[in-house]
Structure 1
Amino acid sequence: MSTPTSGPLPVVAVVGRPNVGKSTLVNRFLGRRAAVVQDTPGVTRDRIAYEALWNGKNFTVVDTGGWEPKAAGMAASIARQAEYAMKTADVIVLVVDAQVGVTETDLAAARVLRRSEQPVILVANKVDDERSEAGAAELWSLGLGEPHPVSALHGRSAGDLLDLVLDAMPEAPRESLEVGGPRRVALVGRPNVGKSSLINRLSKQERSVVDSVAGTTVDPVDSIVRLDGEDWKFVDTAGLRKRVGTASGTEYYASLRTEAAIEAAEVAVVLLAADEVISEQDQRIITQVIEAGRALVIAINKWDTLDEDRHAQLEKEISRDLARIQWAHRVNISALKGRGVHKLADHLRSALESWEFRVPTAELNGYVRQLVQETPPPARGGRAPKIKYVTQADVRPPRFVVFSTGFLEAGYRRFLERKLREKWGFEGTPIEVSVKVRESKARDLKKG
């Protein structure tokens, strides 16, 4: 049984150059084939997080793209990713191919990781038998302590390695959500939609560089902003042009930092430009915020540049293109002139209130019982599942668990989500509805 957790889980970042077996090791940690594995360098490009469980302890494993072992710009690329791992992970696992031995890339990575304040575990991978262990001894030269020989492919010593990872973890994750202090807001969007202009307007100073050239902001910039009598911590992030997997160089690392800023925030303001169509990239950014489980406010910038006829047309386009997030708060603003900016505080507060709202269990079950009587779940395989009980398992965002005698179709889960929103609002926050299938009576009797 897993240990109950609250807030973010401890994070273990698995790093190393391409094709040393990072994704294979991640799969070994997870006990299933989740990360894509291929005998070609560079298959993993995104920073992908998975939830893992070992010896009753839950934690997050992050599979990272390989450090490119190219002479040009190699040191800079290694430093950026290693520094990113140091900032966001609680434990860093550096994977080295023991069959190849220490490379220049490994040495450069080690130089950066030796400065890390977080524990670093050095893994000598592809040690398939005792005869191969002698090659692992060479890794002492990296200056990261004892190399731990494993075979990610065959599972050799993987359990011992997981024990070491657990021992190195802090009691609580370093990047936990703070209680008290200014609420944290990530400001995200495509390049040149006006994020830095909005930060400057809110902070009443030139806090961020503003330029007509897209991509001026690379690193997230923190600003404490006084808005409607309350302090807010805004993070102005780099404009996201592409998927993280297709970005390269500086843009790749900027994308990773933006993703981390969303995860460290409580609410995200996604900035769209009124004078541009809602693009696939806008949709991806919104999805990123939802999947991170953060409260959401949509701000339409440059609203003042359009005439009344275009306003009406744009409203229809927004309703159509953002139909899946009708629950999100939306505000029309002009970052340049300050119009509508003062309304942001009310929308942020409302979204956060929904994000932290808990429905009383008795009230929740009474409502769902009545709902199921009026609209029972559809039959599957000739038998209709029965909903026995519903509980709200968590907040930030709200998560509901439905205990049922059988599987509930995705359409019916969406129906339940829609009805929960109709009843309690949840404006400005994603909510999650999952299903736990109750064991049969025969199995219950056998257990008893």
Structure 2
Amino acid sequence: MSRQTIHDRGIKYEETVVSEPADNVESPAAQGPLPVVAVVGRPNVGKSTLVNRILGRREAVVEDVPGVTRDRVAYETAWAGRAFTLLDTGGWDPEGEGMAARITAQAEVAVTAADVVVFVVDSVVGATDTDEAVVRVLRRSGKPVVLAANKVDGASGEADATALWNLGLGEPYAVSALHGRGSGDLLDAVLEALPDAPSETFDEETGPRRVALLGKPNVGKSSLLNKLAGEDRVVVDSVAGTTVDPVDEIVTLGERDWRFIDTAGIRRRVREASGAEYFASLRTATALERAEVAVVLVDASEPLAEQDLRIISMVEESGRALVLAYNKWDLLDEERREMLEREIDRQLVRVTWAPRVNVSALTGWHVDRLVRAMDTALEGWSTRVPTGRLNAFLGEIVAAHPHPVRGGKQPRILFATQADTKPPRFVLFTSGFLEASYRRFIERRLREEFGFAGTPIELSMRVRERRSRR
């Protein structure tokens, strides 16, 4: 079997001689409400490394410098058959200023939201004044605390861990986040402190719709999420690249819950990124795969950049619904607005089907219109056309506008069916290869007749092989 994939104007075309439609790809079911375990500690004690050890995979961004993790980031995991949500946090520095103070505020919010707190201390360094300041805050919170004495790589470090009894938090569990030593005992202690499991669960169909916020660095993604959430949910700074890990937040809009995923800014090329930035870009791609609709933020005050176009293309390739949000609209004068319209007409002709919203993440202007745009995109993303209606419609347009004759042959559409939704996938059974211009014509007419606003369309051509007579 041979297959050729062709990408053109937001549609994925495949030419193959196999007559069976592609298998449906199902998303993993969303879990119900889970108990929350927050991992806290001062900067660079190995919190994210411990989170990765518990998850069993490299999920949290880790680098050998303090301050890589900045927001509170949630991951779902399980131990001994018990599922829970794990919150990774930035370094806790009660005396910090500027960004450090905002990172500390996010860690404090994580403690408030947690059912159990894992307090990580560097056993090699021992308890510092910062650690003792964090302990005072943890005691006031009234939450169960499990003390993790990290960086105990061998028996010689057990004495250092024992010294942490002086913090008054109970038994220090000697662990090595890097090598996994003692992590099982630590997790057993966490499970003992967790509340009873909830009696009900929820599936994906009744859960909140998942929205990924994408855009180049410093375009205003975190500011928009904070405005939507009505609180300082993520750290915002004028320095580009403040967000490193994808951050999930449940936001109520239009009397419904939405799960927004703030992501790291996508740079021009991955090879330009440093260690933490490189892994952050990989996390962003994973966040897009988890989402149903992507809201791509574009800085309307600046000319459309290569990064903007590449991010939009990435959403098309992923098959997710798409909404374009032009941020900083309040900064535009009439001249810039006219220039932006020309840029859109010239550079975004391939995604004219994407709903467009003009917003200001700073002031909140028109952010409520995102709900209507996301609903439109998700509706198009899940639209299904009955086979009978689809073939009747294609028969009409093919009769009125047949494929041009090439080399004495005129390929015809014999039959068509919609194989899948999310995104819509169509299979065209043809007598020959359809030219790109004719495929674009079919795509345009499909959109005119059935909508499909806010979603890419995938077309597969199944060419019928002529059997030779003997």
Q: TM class by shorter-chain length?
A: 0.5 to 0.7
**CA–CA distance in 1 between the matches of 2:272 and 2:56?**
16
TM-superposed CA distance for 1:179, in Å, is 2.4
CA contact (8 A) 1:203 1:225 kept: yes
TM-superposed CA distance for 1:415, in Å, is 1.5
CA contact (8 A) 1:189 1:240 kept: yes
SS of aligned partner of 1:341: coil
**CA–CA distance in 1 between the matches of 2:22 and 2:461?**
18
**CA–CA distance in 2 between the matches of 1:283 and 1:81?**
35
Does 1:231 pair with 2:257? yes
**CA–CA distance in 2 between the matches of 1:385 and 1:321?**
32
**CA–CA distance in 1 between the matches of 2:308 and 2:225?**
19
Structure 2 portions without partners, runs of 5+: 1-17, 29-48, 61-74, 77-175, 185-202
CA contact (8 A) 2:21 2:419 kept: no
Does 1:389 pair with 2:407? no
**CA–CA distance in 2 between the matches of 1:3 and 1:409?**
21
CA contact (8 A) 1:82 1:113 kept: no
**CA–CA distance in 1 between the matches of 2:247 and 2:229?**
12
2:316 match: 290
2:154 match: none
Does 1:427 pair with 2:453? yes
Q: Residue 204 and residue 218 in structure 1: after superposition, are their counterparts in 2 closer, same or farther (change >3 A)? A: same
Instruction: Please list the CA deviations of residues 296-324 of structure 1 after superposition, one character each: whole Å capped at 9, or x if unmatched.
Output: 00000000011233223322222222111
1:321 match: 347
The alignment of Structure 1 onto Structure 2 pairs a total of residues equal to 300
Identity of aligned residues (%): 55
Q: Residue 373 and residue 186 in structure 1: after superposition, are their counterparts in 2 closer, same or farther (change >3 A)? A: same
1:337 match: 363
1:191 match: 217
1:409 match: 435
The one of 334, 338, 347 equivalent to 1:312 is 338
**CA–CA distance in 2 between the matches of 1:306 and 1:334?**
11
1:213 match: 239
**CA–CA distance in 1 between the matches of 2:180 and 2:390?**
52
SS of aligned partner of 2:323: strand
SS of aligned partner of 1:377: coil
CA contact (8 A) 1:295 1:397 kept: yes
Task: Please tell me the root mean square deviation across aligned C-alpha atoms, in Å.
Answer: 3.2
1:374 match: 400
Superposition TM-score, scaled by structure 2 size: 0.59
SS of aligned partner of 1:347: helix
Does 1:303 pair with 2:278? no
1:83 match: 58
CA contact (8 A) 2:411 2:431 kept: yes
Superposition TM-score, scaled by structure 1 size: 0.61
Instruction: Please list the CA deviations of residues 170-209 of structure 1 after superposition, one character each: whole Å capped at 9, or x if unmatched.
Output: xxxxxxx932200000000001110000000000000010
TM-superposed CA distance for 1:257, in Å, is 0.3
Matches within 5 A, 1:13-412: 82-84=57-59, 111=179, 178-412=204-438
Instruction: Please list the CA deviations of residues 218-249 of structure 1 after superposition, one character each: whole Å capped at 9, or x if unmatched.
Output: 00000100111111000000001133354331
Q: Residue 311 and residue 220 in structure 1: after superposition, are their counterparts in 2 closer, same or farther (change >3 A)? A: same
Structure 1 residue identity aligned to 2:58? E
Structure 2 residue identity aligned to 1:193? V
1:7 match: 25
**CA–CA distance in 2 between the matches of 1:386 and 1:3?**
19
Instruction: Determine which structure has greater relative contact order: mean sequence separation of CA pairs < 8 Å that are 6+ residues apart, divided by chain length.
Output: 2
Q: Residue 202 and residue 381 in structure 1: after superposition, are their counterparts in 2 closer, same or farther (change >3 A)? A: same
**CA–CA distance in 2 between the matches of 1:387 and 1:310?**
46
